[in-house]
Amino acid sequence: MKSASSRTASNSKRPPLRAVPAAPHPDAVPQAAQPAIDAQREALIRQAAYSVYLRRGCTPGHALQDWLEAEMEVDSQWAALPQAQATDETAPRPPD
Protein backbone atom coordinates (compact mmCIF):
# COMPACT_ATOMS: atom_id res chain seq x y z
CA MET A 1 0.00 0.00 0.00
CA LYS A 2 1.31 3.45 -0.85
CA SER A 3 2.05 5.95 1.87
CA ALA A 4 0.17 9.23 1.96
CA SER A 5 3.20 11.11 0.67
CA SER A 6 3.64 8.81 -2.34
CA ARG A 7 -0.06 9.09 -3.17
CA THR A 8 0.17 12.86 -3.06
CA ALA A 9 3.23 12.84 -5.31
CA SER A 10 1.46 10.44 -7.67
CA ASN A 11 -1.66 12.63 -7.79
CA SER A 12 0.35 15.72 -8.70
CA LYS A 13 1.62 14.02 -11.87
CA ARG A 14 -1.85 13.30 -13.21
CA PRO A 15 -2.67 14.95 -16.51
CA PRO A 16 -5.75 17.16 -16.34
CA LEU A 17 -8.98 15.76 -17.69
CA ARG A 18 -10.04 17.20 -21.02
CA ALA A 19 -12.76 19.79 -20.82
CA VAL A 20 -16.18 18.52 -21.81
CA PRO A 21 -19.55 20.25 -21.68
CA ALA A 22 -20.67 20.67 -18.09
CA ALA A 23 -23.31 18.13 -17.12
CA PRO A 24 -26.06 19.28 -14.80
CA HIS A 25 -25.90 18.03 -11.23
CA PRO A 26 -28.07 14.88 -10.94
CA ASP A 27 -30.15 16.37 -8.12
CA ALA A 28 -30.99 19.46 -10.21
CA VAL A 29 -32.64 17.81 -13.21
CA PRO A 30 -36.01 16.22 -13.84
CA GLN A 31 -36.19 12.44 -13.80
CA ALA A 32 -36.86 12.36 -17.56
CA ALA A 33 -33.44 13.93 -18.26
CA GLN A 34 -31.54 11.43 -16.10
CA PRO A 35 -30.52 9.08 -18.98
CA ALA A 36 -28.70 11.94 -20.74
CA ILE A 37 -26.85 12.84 -17.54
CA ASP A 38 -25.93 9.20 -16.98
CA ALA A 39 -24.47 9.07 -20.49
CA GLN A 40 -22.43 12.25 -19.89
CA ARG A 41 -21.16 10.92 -16.57
CA GLU A 42 -20.19 7.62 -18.16
CA ALA A 43 -18.28 9.42 -20.93
CA LEU A 44 -16.37 11.44 -18.33
CA ILE A 45 -15.58 8.31 -16.34
CA ARG A 46 -14.45 6.51 -19.50
CA GLN A 47 -12.00 9.35 -20.30
CA ALA A 48 -10.75 9.46 -16.71
CA ALA A 49 -10.30 5.66 -16.60
CA TYR A 50 -8.19 5.84 -19.75
CA SER A 51 -6.07 8.55 -18.11
CA VAL A 52 -5.60 6.29 -15.07
CA TYR A 53 -4.57 3.45 -17.40
CA LEU A 54 -2.01 5.71 -19.10
CA ARG A 55 -0.63 6.99 -15.78
CA ARG A 56 -0.18 3.38 -14.66
CA GLY A 57 1.96 2.71 -17.72
CA CYS A 58 -0.67 0.94 -19.88
CA THR A 59 -0.41 -2.25 -17.84
CA PRO A 60 -3.38 -4.50 -18.67
CA GLY A 61 -5.48 -6.35 -16.11
CA HIS A 62 -6.62 -3.43 -13.94
CA ALA A 63 -9.71 -2.23 -15.82
CA LEU A 64 -12.07 -2.42 -12.83
CA GLN A 65 -9.61 -0.65 -10.54
CA ASP A 66 -9.07 2.05 -13.19
CA TRP A 67 -12.82 2.49 -13.63
CA LEU A 68 -13.49 2.76 -9.90
CA GLU A 69 -10.70 5.30 -9.43
CA ALA A 70 -12.06 7.29 -12.37
CA GLU A 71 -15.58 7.21 -10.89
CA MET A 72 -14.26 8.64 -7.64
CA GLU A 73 -12.39 11.40 -9.51
CA VAL A 74 -15.37 12.39 -11.65
CA ASP A 75 -17.88 12.20 -8.80
CA SER A 76 -15.68 14.28 -6.48
CA GLN A 77 -15.21 16.93 -9.20
CA TRP A 78 -18.95 16.89 -9.92
CA ALA A 79 -19.84 17.20 -6.24
CA ALA A 80 -17.47 20.16 -5.87
CA LEU A 81 -19.41 22.17 -8.47
CA PRO A 82 -21.90 24.63 -7.05
CA GLN A 83 -25.38 23.43 -7.99
CA ALA A 84 -26.12 26.60 -10.00
CA GLN A 85 -22.95 26.12 -12.04
CA ALA A 86 -23.69 22.44 -12.58
CA THR A 87 -27.00 23.28 -14.24
CA ASP A 88 -25.82 26.36 -16.17
CA GLU A 89 -24.99 25.57 -19.80
CA THR A 90 -22.89 28.74 -19.99
CA ALA A 91 -20.79 27.88 -16.95
CA PRO A 92 -17.07 28.36 -17.47
CA ARG A 93 -15.23 25.21 -18.46
CA PRO A 94 -11.91 24.16 -16.91
CA PRO A 95 -8.90 24.86 -19.13
CA ASP A 96 -7.48 22.02 -21.24
Which of 76 and 90 is assigned the larger pLDDT? 76
Which of 81 and 60 is assigned the larger pLDDT? 60
Residue 54's pLDDT is 96
Q: By mean pLDDT, which of 24-28, 49-53, 83-87 is the weakest?
A: 83-87
Decide: pTM greater than 0.85.
no
Q: How far is CA 9 from CA 20, 30, 54, 70, 71, in A?
A: 26, 40, 16, 18, 20
Domain boundaries, given as residue ranges, for the chain: 47-76
Q: By mean pLDDT, which of 3-12, 40-49, 66-75 is the weakest?
A: 3-12
